[in-house]
Amino acid sequence: MARWRQRVTAGLSGTVVEIGFGSGLNMPVYPPEVQLVYAVEPALTARRLAEERIAESHVRVEHVALRGESIPLEDNSCDGALSTFTLCTIPDVDSALAELRRVLRPGGRFHFLEHGLSPDPSVAGWQRRIDPLQKRLADGCHLTRDAAQLVRSAGFEIEHIESRYASGPKPWTWFTEGSALNPERDGSRTSPGER
């Protein structure tokens, strides 16, 4: 899993907002160009577990919010955004993605690694059957969310997407890794170095 996390964090720089910060599993793989991570995490136990990883990292971390649906940061204040295995659990995922777009500067990139709905009809059928129980047992985690479609619907422009099965039972292992650009509000683009 560390290799997946290293790939999804590659290319991030400056100030990053990470929704679903959890126990800080991405801390060891943030590139040297990342200076500050604004952590969004509702679980206080996970925040305590992250303390050692934060202490060992070159990256400064500020816990700013408990929920991705309401991030107390200024508009256009982040260079990048990251979500790893989080979009499946956020109750109002559309609002959380809208918040990411708001705090991410135009031309900034959203990197994501998520599990979700398989394109294989037989696997997707099993995911739909299992989903109600999955949500109850796994803290609201949905097996049937399509991460790439959610990101597109939020107004991001997908730059890179790669989906495949990881090892393990197929209903839980359809992974999508990608990056998406936050376009200018008027539709024009800003190069990554401009502010």
Query: For 2-56, what is each residue's pLDDT tens digit?
Result: 888 999 999 999 999 999 999 999 999 999 999 999 999 988 889 889 999 999 9
Q: Give domain status of residue 187, yes or no.
A: no
Residue 102 counted as domain residue: yes
Show Cβ contacts of residue 168 under 8 Å, excluding neighbours closer than 6 positions: none
Q: How far is residue 74 from each of residues 33, 138, 157, 192, 195, measured CA to CA in Å?
A: 21, 32, 22, 19, 14
Strands 60-65 and 157-165: unpaired
Boundaries of domain holding 31 = 2-181
Q: What is the DSSP letter of 10?
A: T
The whole model's pTM is what?
A: 0.90
**Which residues of the chain form beta strands (DSSP E)?**
14-19, 34-40, 60-65, 78-84, 104-115, 157-165, 174-181
pLDDT at 60 over 70: yes
Based on the structure, what is the number of domains in the chain? 1
Residues 6+ apart with CB under 8 A from 16: 30, 34, 36, 37, 38, 78, 79, 80, 81, 82
Query: The domain spanning residue 11 has which CATH number?
Result: 3.40.50.150
The answer to whether residue 187 scores a pLDDT higher than 50 is no
Supply 82's token pair. 């990251």
Mean confidence (pLDDT) of the chain: 92
Confidence band for 175, pLDDT divided at 50, 70 and 90: very high
Q: With 60 as the cut, is the pLDDT of residue 188 above it?
A: no
Give the pLDDT band of residue 67 (cuts 50, 70, 90).
confident
Give pLDDT tens digits for 110-133.
Answer: 999 999 999 999 999 999 999 999
* Within a domain: 13: yes
Give the model's confidence band at 186: pLDDT under 50 very low, under 70 low, under 90 confident, else very high. Answer: low
